[in-house]
Amino acid sequence: MTFQTTLANIELLPEGSGVSKMSGEELLERLALVFDYLPEGTTFQVNGEKVSITVPESLATQKAEAERLAEKAAQRARQGEYEKAKDIYRRVLELDPVHPNARRDLAMICVETGDNDEAKDYLIESLRLAPEDAWSLVVLANQYAKEDDHETACKFVRRALELKPGDPWALNTLATALMEQGLLEESLKTYEEAIASDPSFANAHYGRSMVLIRMERFADAAMALQEMFAQSKLQDSRTQIVFEKARSALIHVQNIIANNRLPETDALVERLSTEGETRSGYPVQFEEGPLDAQIVARIKMAWRHDADHHMVTLRDGDFPKLLKNYYSVHELMHLFMESAARDQGTNRWFVTTPETRKNSALALKADLRRLEKKGYRDDQVAGLINELVMGVNLFLFNCPIDMEIERRIWRDYPELRESQFCGLASIAHNSRKVTMDPKIRDFVPPTLLRINDILNGVFALFVDELFEGATAYADAYRKFLTFKDTEKLFALWKEKSSDLTPGSEYHLVDAFGEFLGIRDWYTWKSDRGFIPPDDILDDVDKEGATNPELLKAKAPASVLYLLDALERFSSMEPDEVKRIAFEIAVMGQEGIDYSSPENKYRLKSLPGKTMSGLQLMCLMYAGFKQVAPDMDSGMDLEDEYQQALSLFRRG
């Protein structure tokens, strides 16, 4: 087998310096030394500037085995098993020292493992055998670029482009060398040539974005990165690294843009706050304060808390303004959705009851035993399970609704998109970090772990799809056995959320609950607000407030309870009185049994005190007489109230 090269090609490379000035015998000795990696029996013939190299043919069996091993080495390299690939390629060269690609491919493996000097040696050997190999020239150019010798890098890559015009890898290498020399406009043009040559070439897209960042064209840089995610595909472990760098760069760029757009997003928050007041009839206020772990923002609806305004609370501390604006808009979207549902009479409240808590406890019976076997006390287990179930219920309620909110934000408020990207990236990153923590996974009961894994995976799939592949948070969940269920639940969400009407978002929660097998862990209450409707007591047990004969039979006790209520309320502010009366009114929707003298009722507004049903009814009646005197409570206690009022006034 004979190869052709030139003295100029050998002169081009550092180890070949001075060969053109040697005598014939010296030159042959020098050539034998330069090509000492070729097999014994190799001969050289020099004719002017041309050099012919004749290599003894390898045995056919050796060449076939070398070819098989070369393919195996390439497969190992694609899988990122570089050390194994290097060993196999070295064996290839033992069997066939002039294998056409083995030295070049081995050089590329050395690049990946950081053995740069070894990589250069193999590349020089490769080029001396095949001076027209454009790819070896490109890889060698990259090695000089790593040593900050960008002029030499340009020299080699321009030679590669002469041999292979328009090659995207060569153009990419040239563009990078130009960027590092500060020739940004020329670099940008060259990257764009590489992309035009191969639109799926991730490296060129990423390089283009880096030039645009250096030029402080951040919006263009973000667009370049998004084009990369839309057009490029993961091919091997080396491409994976490029994608990871690009994702980090995109978060950085989006952060810069979001900060630059703060005046726009400030105005958006103000506009939506005003819109929230118009839609709901209550003003919106903002505050910063402490919040539970993993919660960064919360809204308290006025009608749920008997207040004259809605309150958006943002986590206090060092919290970027761009995220404050994003979370503020997210909470306001909750207000918009709930207001729309209230207008249609379809709003509901997600609640748990003793019965639903019993259902969850039964479902977790086996998990309780496991925790007890680990040495936890009964009270510790009960407290832990209660806290975890509350967390799961909260996640179940929020996950499908939050995804709908994020979709609307992305669609309707483009000025917030960069802030939204940063906010969702933070949420998804933290969720992934907590979910993958081995200590947490060992601690959380399997039943709850399964639910959390599925819901976190669904949210990650949503984020990845919303950002059109610019993120890959769902990849971490693919290793779980639950991932097939994750994909099914996400598909179910997309199907059922395609045409929502006010209040139908709660059907999404039910669909999730049924899919996960926890539909009986919660229930719904119709939203009647804190102002009880006229028929609030209509469905109470006949032994309760709608039994006038029983009520009159208890008149003496009613007078004493009403007097006690008047004395209690005399030292209270009207808002406190109203809170107590409204809380009892809401309890009345479930029925208050005042036929029994048992003190079995508790009020959040009067902690530490238990009362009978009759005492509660008298508190409510006296309270409404003070804060809503024209309201018909549905109870005939007016005579008893007047007697109690007379006693109260006389002291």
At 53-87, the pLDDT tens digits run 888 877 667 888 888 999 999 999 888 899 999 99
Q: From CA 364, how far away is CA 366, in angstroms rounded?
A: 6
Per-residue pLDDT, 560: 84
Q: Is residue 317 part of a domain?
A: yes
Which of residues 602 and 195 earns the better pLDDT score? 195
* pLDDT level of residue 411 (50, 70, 90 thresholds): very high
Long-range contacts (CB closer than 8 Å, 24 or more residues apart) made by 554-559: 554/594, 554/614, 555/639, 555/640, 557/614, 558/614, 558/618, 558/637, 558/640, 559/640, 559/643, 559/644, 559/647
Tell me whether residue 481 is in a domain. yes
* Tokens of residue 156, six digits: 């080699």
Place of tokens 């491409």: 239
Question: Are 491 and 599 part of one and the same domain?
Answer: no
Q: Tell me 522's DSSP state.
A: -
Same domain? For 489 and 564 the reply is no
Q: Is residue 78 located within the same domain as residue 50? A: no
On whether both 397 and 299 belong to a single domain, the answer is: no
Say whether both 319 and 372 belong to one domain.
no
d(CA 489, CA 407): 17
Say if CB 96 and CB 126 are below 8 A apart. Answer: no
Whether the pLDDT of residue 372 is over 80: the answer is no
Same domain, 435 and 362: yes
Residue numbers of the domain that contains 276: 264-335
Q: For residues 452 and 441, give the distance between their C-alpha atoms in angstroms, rounded to a whole number.
A: 10
**Are 369 and 494 found together in one domain?**
yes
**Are residue 356 and residue 478 in the same domain, yes or no?**
yes
- Residue among 51, 54, 55 at smallest CA distance from 9: 51
- Co-location of 359 and 278 in the same domain: no
Share of the chain above pLDDT 90, in %: 48
326 and 427 assigned to the same domain: no
Residue 465 lies in a domain: yes
Shared domain for 513 and 628, answered yes or no, is: no
Higher pLDDT, 246 or 49: 246
* Domain count of the fold of the chain: 5
Residue 225 lies in a domain: no
Question: How many C-beta atoms surround the C-beta of residue 574 within 10 A?
Answer: 11
Strand, coil or helix: what is 3?
Answer: strand
Mean pLDDT value across the chain: 86
Q: Give the residue-averaged pLDDT of 371-376.
A: 67
